[in-house]
Structures are given as structure tokens and as C-alpha cells.
Structure 1
Amino acid sequence: MTSRERLIATLNHESPDRIPLDLGATSQTGINASSLYRLRKALGLPEHRIRVIEPGQLLGEVEPDLLELLGVDVVGLFNTTNYFGYKNDNWKKWQMDDGTPVWMGGGFACDTDETGKTYVYPQGDRTAEYSAMIPKGGSFFDSVPRAHFDWDLDEEDLKPLEDFKDDFSVVSDDEARYWEKKSIELYENTDYGIVGMLGGGALGDAAVIPGPAVKHPRGIRRVDDWLMAHSLYPDYIRAVFRYQTDIMLKNLEIYRQAVGERIQVVWISGTDFGNQIAGMMSLETFRDLYKPFYKEINDWVHKNTGWKTFYHTCGAVWDFLDDFADMGLDCLNPLQLSARGMDAVKIKERYGKAFTFWGGGVDTQRVLPFGTPEEVRRQVRERMDILGKDGGFVFNTIHNIVANVPAENLIAMYEEVTGRTLR
């Protein structure tokens, strides 16, 4: 099987010749530039600066030589603009706090204070307030809320569309032409499966509610305030989601015209509905405020294309799985089996035909960064045996590979997945 055939079989819940492997196809299945740099070095690949393609999490670009060596099966069709609102072009040198040499897009603008904290500006505009911060020794940026909301306002006095008009927009003709050109390049010149990283459908995503790419965010922007507004100002939330969904549907049509059936999967949302021990909200709230809009998006995809929908949600989401299936979610990432109630055997038995599980292959909180290579291998084998039965499983870690992972553990993981000897 080619990599693309392997992915398609998996998405159709057929048994492939081996479990397909993803590294770097999405912003939730990637690798921190520091770990990527050390992995390349350990494998004897050329040492050079790593391109950071997702600056919020400092995710590195996984290049063709590493894709081929590891046996990766899936790549991403990324947008030209990143998490902080500037383009990934005109690369310039930067150095991470641990000394990792990287390339950042030319629009990356940051300042470091006397304590070692580094602040980044939205769209590279230093006239705006900084939108994210990384502490000294840190390996990813945290969003910084900048809007100040007046809780004394009545709901009828709120202006949700005005508040979020700079967060969502119909894509440009130039972006659509880029999608078309890049999708043709990936489809015709490689045999990888392709995930279209369209984005824009992550309703209420805690990573984007503060507006990391917005110069002057307004309205309800703190994550705790946003969650309280589900009960206090539900019509405000609905109005934002209606606006966001309408833009998403327009962009999906543009995307369909640009990439056609050259992609197999489209990334819709990265909103987390669970934390380590429970859901982030009640099922009643999810069904009222979120599910109708997600179903509308998924129905459009399934009616108009052959793509599968990709959703990322961390945490303890067992109670949400029936609703996820009902609303048309196809690929569920990352399957955080370290969260409460997320039992691999139970989930596979009950939902193995409903979802393609994309991730869950190894615990990135404990085993991968702190275990031995043999402990990594053991857990990888166990997860593959459970989740890979009868197809429907794309191997990836539980969320991105963070910065402190030993290269030996990464090599053990990839050798176990593909059966290759890497060194």
C-alpha cells in the first residue's frame, strides 16, 4: 500500500497493511522544534535551523528526509498565516531559550524583559499590546487576555458581532490560489495522505478566544469569563457561533473549489471539551450551544465532499462521544487516555466503527518524556493492539510532542510503530 492508500483504508475502517503514522500533519499532532532538532541529530540527519510553522506551540516543520526515514504516512496542507496572524515566509533567525536554532516567519516580533519573559505581538505589530508570553525556560507561548469586559452590562447591550469581526473572515483569492497550487503539489508529487488544515471552525476554543492574532480584541475574552457567559449571556455565545459558522461555510466552499478531492481529511476544530478529570461544560450546554453548529458544518462537508472531518479535543470526553458521533465527527484526536474515564478498550469496543481514532498512541505526560525506551515500546504495542484492530486508527502521540522528550524514546516509539530500525 502507498501511504495515501493506507490512510484511506483506515478512514474507511478497513485493515491496512500497517497502522498509518502521522507526525506534523496538524497543529495538534506535531513536535516542538527543540525535540525535532535533537531527533534529527540522533538519527544522523543534517543539522540545521528548524522552521517554526506554528509559533504558539513552537512546532517545527517535519521535512521530507525525516518523513521518509520514519515512515510517516500523512502530511498537512497548512495555511499561509499562522497562530499569531503573520505569514510563514521571509524567514529570520531566532533561538529558543534552550539554545535550539530556529527560523521564524518574518512577521514574528517579540521583546524580552529583564526577567527573561518573551512577549510576542499580533501580526507583528508592536503598536498593539502583546498577545502572548513565554517565560524564561518555557517551550510554548501562553495567550495574554487584553480585553476588559464590563459584567454590569445587560445582554441586550452586548455587541458580539462587533466584538469578533476581526477574528473571522472569508479567505482571500491569493490564499485560495495557494491552496490549489500546494494541494496539487502534494497530491501529484507525493503519495502521502493529506489533511487540509483549513481551521476556522473551532467554536469557543480556549486557545483563540483571547485573540492571539487580533490587534485590538474586544468583548468577552478571558477563558473563565467565556465559560461563565455560557450561562449568563447564552445569546451572545450563539451570535458569535452563528457568525463564525457562516464564515466557515463560505470558506469550506472556497476550499472545496481550491483543493477538490485531493485531500482526504479536513481539520475543523481544536476546541477542548474535557480537562484531566471531567468535561469542560455540561452535556446540556454542549447540545444547546455547540452541537447544532458543528452538525451544520459536518453535514456540509459530507454532502459536498468525500472528506472526513477532523476534531481535536483533549480531556475526559467519554460522556460527549455519543453526541460527537451524532453530529458527524469522523476523526477524533488525540484520544487522551490519561484522562479520567478514557479507557482504550471500552472506547474501541463501543465507538470503533463511529470514529477513526487519530492519536492516543503513547502518553505524552509521563511515559514518553519520563519513561524508558522499553516502557515506551510496551505502551505503543499495547495501544496499537487495542486501537488498531480492524482499522480506524492513525498512530500519533497524545497531543504534540513537547520539548523535553529524549530522542531515544522517540526513536523507540517510531521503530515500534513501523518495525523499522532507525539507527
Structure 2
Amino acid sequence: MSQEQSLEPVEGPVLSRAEGMTGRERVLTALAHQEPDRVPIDFGSTWITTIHADAYEQLKRHFDIDSPTVIMERMQQACFVDEHILQHLDVDTRGVFYGLPELACNQWMELPDNCFRDAWGITWQRPPTSYYYDMIQPALPGDITISDVLNHQWPDPHDPGYTRSLQQRVKAQRAGTDRALVLNISVWFVQCSQFIRGFEDWFVDMAANPRLMSVLFDLLTDIMLGTIGDVLAEVGDLVDVVSVSDDIGMQDRTTVSPEMYRRLIKPRQARAFRFIHDRTPAPLMYHTCGSVYAIMDDLIEIGVNALNPVQTDAAYMEPDRLKREFGDRISFWGGINSSRILPWGTPEQVRDEVRRVIRTLGPGGGYILNSVHNIQPNVPLDNFIAMFEAAREFGTYPLAEQ
């Protein structure tokens, strides 16, 4: 998915800009575990650090923006953010997105009742009262064999639409901004396989049929790395950060035991992350929701440079614990509570949360500020604005002198 956005000057009030580093320098300095001039701010650069389309309509009204809302990720209703808003908020990042497939795929189909079937053969529906699309029909449910997996109609990883004009667009994007460019790519074989099999069958397979899951994991990884290889060949030297996403955490633990993770998931992630690092000097930001404390050392070992979203209200994911035990080896990207503070707190409570997280995760660098996952429709506008204002107020280095 791609969208070219104007970089013309913004009229009207803009949050006070700090003289000194550019956004690109600020982000890369922080990710190198050094202190920049202030804590970098991300918003809208990835499909897991942006805003829900319904919430975005309110934000556009506030900033008097009349450009159309463009969805970057349909299931979450995550959308692109207008460049004028990013400039108003002095955001340090900009997203890079590869193109849509062009080749005919008879798996993809719009269906009645607000449903669609995606390129993997998974059927989704958005209920009238829901923020999101829910998976309602897996692609390969029930009692299946390895042959069924191998003979399923899979997407073409080398579809020319993914990279058509990509290098030209990103060169222009890089020349037009001094903000850090964050490339969004897909290494989501865990979640993808859950939707392909259905959650109950997936968990049964992980325990009782690991051979089937190994074949499925490897096949999905091959497909995804095929596309990633083509994309990085075009823009690997033009982007500043690479963002990947695959949830392996729940509120109180990892999705599977750490032992099962190390046996079935970690080797494929290690292969994928090594593949990425071999093709770009950009640091790797990895998104997984939930509690992943038990496998933090594993993630660091296989090449994760920054963890997102730092779900601070999940078990053992307290910022002080993470910074103390892992902060010299991995950076943190996110951390501002979006389940309680942003939707239900006051602007002053948001300010307190931002100050607390910055003072915990910010010392020595290694922190990029963002909400824990996308901004949802239940987040009051005043709280959203308070997060950015507090980030600028409390994020200037040296933090100890504030």
C-alpha cells in the first residue's frame, strides 16, 4: 500500500519545534542507544502505530483537514495520516509502504454483508457495531493434510505490483523529508497461520501435529521472504527502519509456551530477521502485543533491535523492569497506555503517564514514543493532543535536569 503526501508548508499553529537534530537523526540516535536532543515521536508510520479510521475523522475535523481517509490495513481499519497533521504534531517518522498486487488472484473477493475474502483465502466480516473486521471463515479449517497445505492456492510473492515504481517513490520521499523512513513489511507467519487454520485447530496442531505446522510455517515464510527480498532489493538502502509485526503474546503470557516458541517459531523468525538484516542496514522494529518478557532474550538474540508496542499493562512488561533488564540491548517503541489512560484518563493523567514512561525508558536513548497500538475511536481528542504536548514538554534531554 502506498500514498504520496504533500510536503508543502503547514499554515496555523504547530507544536514548538526543537532546533537541532532532524527527525531521522533523532530516531537513529535513539535506536543506537544514545541520547538525541529529545525523545523521538512516532505516529502514522506503520499499520500498528497509526489511528483507526473512525478516530481519524475527528482528528481531521480538529485540524481542518478535508483530504479523504485512506485505509492502509483493512482488518484493523488503520489509516494513513495526512502530512499536514504529521507536521503539526512534529512527528519524527514517515511510513514507507510497498504497492498492491496486480496479478489476478481468484482468492480475493468482495462478498455480501460487509465481508471479503483475502489473498490467503481467509474470509472477514465487519459487524455493524464493531471497530474491526473479524475472521469468520479460515482458509484451511478442520482435518487437513500436508498435501492440502501444499496444494492450497497461495499468493504470488513476486507480483510486480509490490515493487512497481517503489524505488522512484521512496527516493522522492527521502529527498522530500528529513524524518526517519519506516518500511512496513510482512513477516506474520504465526498470525497468518492462525487465520488460515482457525484458532482452535491451530492450537491443536501446535501440540499434536507439529510436522504440519512446520510445513505451513516454512511455506508462509518462503512466500513472505520472496516479497521482502524484492522490496529490499529496491529500497533497502533508502529506508531508516524496517517494521515487522506478528503477535506472539497474550495479556499474561506468550501465546504458546517459551519452549514451544523456541522449537517451532523462533527458528523461522531467526531466518526471516537474518534475511532482512542481510539486505538492509536499517534497524529492525518488531511488533508483538502482549507479554513477551519470557522470550525477550530470544528476540534480542535473533536480531530484534526495537520492541513495539511495549504493552506495559501486560504481565511482567513494566517499563522499569524492561529497561533495567534489557535496555542496553534493545530499544523500546511505544509504551503509552492505550487500554486505560488514553481512552479513560484525563489529559493530566495522560501527561503524567507520558512523563513516567519517558523518565523510565528514555535515559541513555533507546526509546521512541508512541501509544500502545493504534489510536482507537474511544480516545478523546484532548487526551490525544495531551500525549504529544507532554512528549515535547518532558522529552528534552538531558532528562535528569527536568
- In which range does the TM-score fall when normalised by the shorter chain? 0.7 to 0.9
Judging changes above 3 Å, is the alpha-carbon distance between structure 1 residues 161 and 337 closer, same or farther for their aligned structure 2 residues? Answer: same
Q: 1:282 maps to what in 2?
A: 257
Q: Structure 1 residue 404 and structure 2 residue 378: aligned?
A: yes
Matches within 5 A, 1:22-421: 22-42=42-62, 44-81=63-100, 109=110, 111-112=112-113, 118-122=114-118, 131-147=123-139, 149-151=141-143, 158-163=147-152, 165-166=153-154, 168-199=155-186, 201-205=187-191, 209-211=194-196, 221-268=197-244, 270-360=245-335, 362-419=336-393
Contact 1:119–1:130, Cα closer than 8 Å, also in 2: no
Q: 1:214 maps to what in 2?
A: none
Moved more, 351-360 or 61-70: 351-360
In the superposition, the TM-score normalised over structure 1's length comes to 0.81
Letter in 2 for 1:395: L
**d(CA) in 2 for partners of 1:232 and 1:174?**
39
Moved more, 372-381 or 299-308: 299-308
Letter in 1 for 2:118: P
Contact 2:47–2:79, Cα closer than 8 Å, also in 1: no
Q: Unmatched 5+ residue regions in structure 2?
A: 1-20, 395-402
Contact 1:311–1:329, Cα closer than 8 Å, also in 2: yes
- 1:52 is displaced (CA, Å) by 1.9
Judging changes above 3 Å, is the alpha-carbon distance between structure 1 residues 354 and 169 closer, same or farther for their aligned structure 2 residues? Answer: farther
Give the 3-state SS of the residue equivalent to 2:43 in structure 1: coil
Give the 3-state SS of the residue equivalent to 1:196 in structure 2: strand
Give the 3-state SS of the residue equivalent to 2:371 in structure 1: coil
Paired-residue identity, %: 29
- 1:171 is displaced (CA, Å) by 2.5
**d(CA) in 1 for partners of 2:72 and 2:228?**
22
- 1:30 is displaced (CA, Å) by 0.9
**d(CA) in 2 for partners of 1:33 and 1:147?**
27
- 1:281 is displaced (CA, Å) by 0.5
- 1:80 is displaced (CA, Å) by 2.4
Give the 3-state SS of the residue equivalent to 2:195 in structure 1: coil
Number of residue pairs matched by the alignment: 370
Letter in 2 for 1:280: T
Judging changes above 3 Å, is the alpha-carbon distance between structure 1 residues 336 and 122 closer, same or farther for their aligned structure 2 residues? Answer: same
- 1:177 is displaced (CA, Å) by 3.0
Letter in 2 for 1:119: C
**d(CA) in 1 for partners of 2:262 and 2:122?**
35
Give the 3-state SS of the residue equivalent to 1:332 in structure 2: strand
Letter in 1 for 2:83: P
In the superposition, the TM-score normalised over structure 2's length comes to 0.85
Coordinate RMSD, CA, aligned: 2.4
For residues 293-345 of structure 1, give each alpha carbon's deviation from its aligned partner in whole angstroms, at most 9, with x where no partner exists. Answer: 11122223333421212211111111010111111111211110111111110
- 1:292 is displaced (CA, Å) by 1.1
Judging changes above 3 Å, is the alpha-carbon distance between structure 1 residues 173 and 47 closer, same or farther for their aligned structure 2 residues? Answer: closer
**d(CA) in 1 for partners of 2:65 and 2:388?**
19
